[in-house]
Structure 1
């Protein structure tokens, strides 16, 4: 996750732009003051300065980087206003069980027709499964079908999972009409050909209604439970742009999608220069919502959770699996403020998570985040004094980190969040400087591949020929030397 919170709010930074200039970032007021935008619109005469500040702002975005999906995000709570997931109502009598089976058979038949229509590119058959009286949903269904047609769909399935006969209120049932209506949870899976090794998979609430002996789908958006994600293709018209390494799926205009292709391609190339070309597919999928609310819907987060977050890397799968489909979900407003170079820093960081399968990796957060920062800042050089400003300030005050950053150090509410990211980055850079970049990559892979609870300790010994304690001593000396202590 690349964000403006945490480290970004608490430090200024500089980054070397393409002309070799350094640009300080504005200082952000502490939490007890009203938040102010980090990049302000200035008169035309200040245009070049704004561009440089936006570029420097990328340091803050990457300083609080992370990922979502198969790991929980402490700072991304689900919408508290959404209903809490409840077990489906279970049948207690033979008659109720029979009724549940009947509903499941009717619903599954509708879903199968939908999936077949998508596979056969048959819009008429798809719309035939939609309730003719649900005018608003029929319009949405047309968009959904167009979106699915626009995507490089390799497979698409809908599976009836369960239903809850009490989920629809009497008023909603009266509005739907018909002889019967109910809400079911449906597993939807789709695979993007040429990009995914496994299908993406999410749960989708589908409302069914029966009228005149026929069952139809009447909604795809009723009663999302807290934390339930929404497929991007259900949120509005999408545009798709493809290039050698990238697939950008935009909820904005087609020009937005195309604009991101070159930046995403360059990020993939930068990652390959460090991680290697044969160790990942060299493919990245970027979701580009038009609004922050759409970003949060994709991630299943509460409103305004991602106001100051530029991007999140998530696995679009509910259970850990090798090859889980991974997406970079961007906040386009912040990306536009960053400018091309700033977007490159953020996308390089996030693409590193994609290449290293960080969403399903046992590597500790200090290694995952430090390595992603190392790759991003190798692609776009960063001045130590600015990028590690808060860490150096603490060290000069006598507060030298005693250990490598813990998992708790990366919580959004952590007091020393900036130092956690900065020290993690410099830990990875120390390994690269001492042993060579290839050894840093080998170290990461060794920890990632380990099935042992002692994987990190084993990698320190087998790859770096030292213990973690010995490395910490060297790292502390390194930090003090960089800080001038």
Structure 2
């Protein structure tokens, strides 16, 4: 396939309002007790992007996302100060400590008023009452009212359960004087709200996002007036807030599409086949349930991922853990890049879907396996499902080897960065490293090797697996792999 792959670049902090205007925010360093890299917090270049500054001076919210992009990881992280207990009541959370007792009391009052609105919203969703849901929406916010109708219809189409809306924190200074004047009423403010939900039959843990919700009080009643007032960079948006959805369900897949022209049913069939292909290699001991998001345009993909514009223009698909702390059991989604996915053609889409489904099966978004193994294994499974000629699949690597540039080591995390000049070679060499293991020891041993590294709690897990599973050191394997590459390249 064409290597429309890569990893997300580090992003500076900025706030994006609902009119797409941006306001820079100062970056803040990560806490001293956080390691520079983590199990599921890697950038394509092996580092951690700077933590994002608070959206307002009294709010510092965030969600950590781990991505496996097309055929590469991309870690997108923020520092979360607010609690994230999905079982907390919808009205829970006191405001941040204010400067005076009076201000603190006002914050409690706002939290109570806003929390009551959120509780009514959640109850309306649970009770499938469109009228009750719309009753919580500001009658003088026609655009948001139309959006709310779409949101309710979307949730009605999805197998959603356990929707919770939890008031986290706020700051009355977040809205400009002009915006407050436009809203009218006796009071208006912006709050951060944690939204959690599960897709029944697909998720074992709730998905979570943090939404900026604007509240306005008029005639003694508080309403929600916007779900998109201002977003901090890296703050994701639930797909069901972005436009009308088309939903298709297969034996093993759920396809959620924002594109009215996409054939969601055809993606269901392709994803179901990808599940079968992955199971033939990985085994059937996984949930065998895959959720695919099909945005209609690039911006929607970026909203779902919490990415800056044009970050993923050359990436065909991304595997994302839709949880603030990616971990085993986290809800995982495959997010397609609409333009590139269409251009791939039937066979190309099959390869990409099989690759991404491998990441879902192997819980790659919460795994300590090195990138070369995660990506090489996913390509091995994909190319096993859709055979390709070596000369085509490893074109750039073979060209480099014939020019005398034989890789000196297995590709490190920096090789998978979007800006890496040797990005194609990284994927190609990782794939052939995994294929060599399968040819040398058998496919089951390759899977055993991957599982051993994945399950290890030791910093020497990779070295241990080389010895215990393959009976050699990494250096010995690299020497054999180099000879294998040269032979394949005809050198």
Whether TM-score is above 0.5 comes out as yes
Residues 29-51 of structure 1, C-alpha deviations (whole Å, 9 max, x = no match) = xxxxxxxxxxxxxxxxxxxxxxx
Judge conservation of contact 2:161–2:198 (CA < 8 Å) in 1.
yes
Which structure has the highest helix share of the two? 1
Alignment counterpart, residue 206 of structure 1, candidates 193, 202, 213: 213
Judge conservation of contact 1:65–1:369 (CA < 8 Å) in 2.
no
Alignment counterpart, residue 412 of structure 1, candidates 403, 418, 423: 418
Partner of 2:482: 476
Q: Aligned in 2, Cα 1:391/1:63: closer, same or farther, shift over 3 Å?
A: farther
Judge conservation of contact 1:460–1:468 (CA < 8 Å) in 2.
yes
Equivalent-residue separation in structure 1 for 2:432 and 2:56 (angstroms):
42
Partner of 2:372: 366
User: In the alignment, is residue 298 of structure 1 matched against residue 304 of structure 2?
Assistant: yes
Q: Aligned in 2, Cα 1:394/1:73: closer, same or farther, shift over 3 Å?
A: closer
Equivalent-residue separation in structure 2 for 1:286 and 1:401 (angstroms):
35
SS for the counterpart of 1:207 is strand
Alignment counterpart, residue 224 of structure 1, candidates 228, 231, 245: 231
* Alignment gaps of 5+ in structure 2: 10-39, 60-95
Q: Aligned in 2, Cα 1:85/1:419: closer, same or farther, shift over 3 Å?
A: farther
Equivalent-residue separation in structure 1 for 2:160 and 2:475 (angstroms):
49
Partner of 2:2: 59
1:305, distance to aligned residue in structure 2 (A): 2.0
Judge conservation of contact 2:45–2:414 (CA < 8 Å) in 1.
no
Equivalent-residue separation in structure 2 for 1:461 and 1:326 (angstroms):
32
Residues 440-461 of structure 1, C-alpha deviations (whole Å, 9 max, x = no match) = 0011111111111111011111
Equivalent-residue separation in structure 2 for 1:61 and 1:369 (angstroms):
14
Deviates more, 1:393-402 or 1:115-124: 393-402
User: In the alignment, is residue 129 of structure 1 matched against residue 72 of structure 2?
Assistant: no
1:62, distance to aligned residue in structure 2 (A): 5.8
Partner of 1:315: 321
Q: Aligned in 2, Cα 1:86/1:379: closer, same or farther, shift over 3 Å?
A: farther
Alignment counterpart, residue 342 of structure 2, candidates 336, 339, 350: 336
Alignment counterpart, residue 441 of structure 2, candidates 431, 435, 442: 435
User: In the alignment, is residue 196 of structure 1 matched against residue 203 of structure 2?
Assistant: yes
1:83, distance to aligned residue in structure 2 (A): 8.6
Judge conservation of contact 1:248–1:257 (CA < 8 Å) in 2.
yes
1:65, distance to aligned residue in structure 2 (A): 11
SS for the counterpart of 2:230 is coil
Judge conservation of contact 2:3–2:424 (CA < 8 Å) in 1.
no
1:388, distance to aligned residue in structure 2 (A): 1.2
Equivalent-residue separation in structure 1 for 2:296 and 2:166 (angstroms):
29
Equivalent-residue separation in structure 1 for 2:278 and 2:303 (angstroms):
28
SS for the counterpart of 2:173 is coil
Q: Aligned in 2, Cα 1:190/1:271: closer, same or farther, shift over 3 Å?
A: same
Equivalent-residue separation in structure 2 for 1:220 and 1:294 (angstroms):
15
Q: Aligned in 2, Cα 1:146/1:120: closer, same or farther, shift over 3 Å?
A: same
Q: CA RMSD in A?
A: 2.2
Q: Aligned in 2, Cα 1:255/1:297: closer, same or farther, shift over 3 Å?
A: closer
Partner of 1:445: 451
Partner of 2:91: none
Equivalent-residue separation in structure 2 for 1:459 and 1:421 (angstroms):
21
Equivalent-residue separation in structure 2 for 1:484 and 1:422 (angstroms):
16
Partner of 2:461: 455
Residues 53-102 of structure 1, C-alpha deviations (whole Å, 9 max, x = no match) = xxxxx332368899xx8544569x99xxx995654274111001111111
Alignment counterpart, residue 407 of structure 2, candidates 389, 401, 404: 401
Q: Aligned in 2, Cα 1:92/1:85: closer, same or farther, shift over 3 Å?
A: closer
The answer to which structure, 1 or 2, has the higher relative contact order (CA under 8 A, 6+ apart) is 1
User: In the alignment, is residue 112 of structure 1 matched against residue 123 of structure 2?
Assistant: no
SS for the counterpart of 1:322 is coil
* Alignment gaps of 5+ in structure 1: 1-57
TM-score by length of 2: 0.83
Partner of 1:247: 254
Equivalent-residue separation in structure 2 for 1:65 and 1:372 (angstroms):
18
Equivalent-residue separation in structure 2 for 1:179 and 1:72 (angstroms):
45
Residues 182-241 of structure 1, C-alpha deviations (whole Å, 9 max, x = no match) = 000000001000000101001000000111111110000011111111100000000100
Equivalent-residue separation in structure 1 for 2:8 and 2:97 (angstroms):
43
